[in-house]
């Protein structure tokens, strides 16, 4: 069965701190896709990254980095030198063929970055 767990409900940091958002997933498929989306206070959902199950290479995009580890079924997201504008709800998501290619979302982690 598909499942995405984001155990951290809320995280609060002070600006310039590094913060890691955890994501653990479950799937029976060998082919699957993992995503992160950001939902700022304005409410829209913004795509951040997509990773397929065959590509375990970590990725860095500016202050954002992602660590994909199949051995622990985790796809964690780190923000380096956080800024107030990073305050948002962050969702990890999973899509696989068992689930009929639907994308299911974790419960989200609300990140507060204080000035």
Partner 1 sequence: DTAVSQTPKYLVTQMGNDKSIKCEQNLGHDTMYWYKQDSKKFLKIMFSYNNKELIINETVPNRFSPKSPDKAHLNLHINSLELGDSAVYFCASSPMGQGATNEKLFFGSGTQLSVL
Question: What residues line the site for partner 1 (CB under 8 A)?
Answer: 32-33, 35, 37, 39, 43-45, 47, 50, 52, 89, 91, 95-96, 100-105, 107-108, 110
- Please identify, using beta-carbon distances, which residue of 15 and 26 lies nearer to partner 1: 26
Q: Name all contacts of 47-50 with Cβ < 8 Å and 24+ positions apart.
A: 48/77, 48/90, 49/77
State the pairing for strand pair 74-79/59-61: unpaired
- Please identify, using beta-carbon distances, which residue of 73 and 80 lies nearer to partner 1: 73
- Please identify, using beta-carbon distances, which residue of 24 and 107 lies nearer to partner 1: 107
Distance CA 71, CA 44 (A): 33
- Give least dist CB 95 to partner 1, A: 4
């Amino acid at each position: 069965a598909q499942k995405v767990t984001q155990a951290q409900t809320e995280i609060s940091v002070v600006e310039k701190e590094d913060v890691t958002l955890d994501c653990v997933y479950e799937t029976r498929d060998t082919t699957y896709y993992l995503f992160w989306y950001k939902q700022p206070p304005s409410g829209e959902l913004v795509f951040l990254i997509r990773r397929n199950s065959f590509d375990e290479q970590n990725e860095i995009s500016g202050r954002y980095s992602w660590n994909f580890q199949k051995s622990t079924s985790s796809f964690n997201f780190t923000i380096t030198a956080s800024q107030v504008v990073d305050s948002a709800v962050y969702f990890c998501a999973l899509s696989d063929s068992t689930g009929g290619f639907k994308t299911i979302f974790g419960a989200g982690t609300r990140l507060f970055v204080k000035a």
